[in-house]
Amino acid sequence: MNLKNLKIILICGLILALLPLPYGYFTVLRVFSCVVFILLILNIPKSKRKRDNRELIIYLILLILFQPILKLPLGRTIWNIVDVFTAIWLLLNLNSKKKK
């Protein structure tokens, strides 16, 4: 499975998080989000990291925000906003090509 498919699955998962779902769903979503963000960070070419590390910083912030070990108690409304903005960010960067 390539990164584009993982991004699409994560976008769908983040949008589904707006619904009133059981707590277990959000835990699974956090773990899956962390895996995807780690893969995205590792997939950023080193040459791009040296020129412009904005994408790296955003993915690191999202990784810290979604990590499931030390959960941030932001409240349902704030998490919904974070989920929507994260889904939009991933959607906008869905077709970004790697430049070497």
What is this structure's pTM? 0.84
pLDDT at 88: 94
* Residue 14 near residue 87 (C-beta atoms within 8 A): yes
| Domain ranges across the chain | 3-92
Q: Crossing angle of helices 54-66/23-43, nearest 10°?
A: 160
Query: Which residues, other chains included, contact 33 with Cβ-Cβ below 8 Å and sequence gap of 6+?
Result: 10, 13, 14, 62, 66, 86
In the predicted structure, residue 89 carries a pLDDT above the cut 70 = yes
Residue 96 banded pLDDT, cuts 50, 70, 90: low
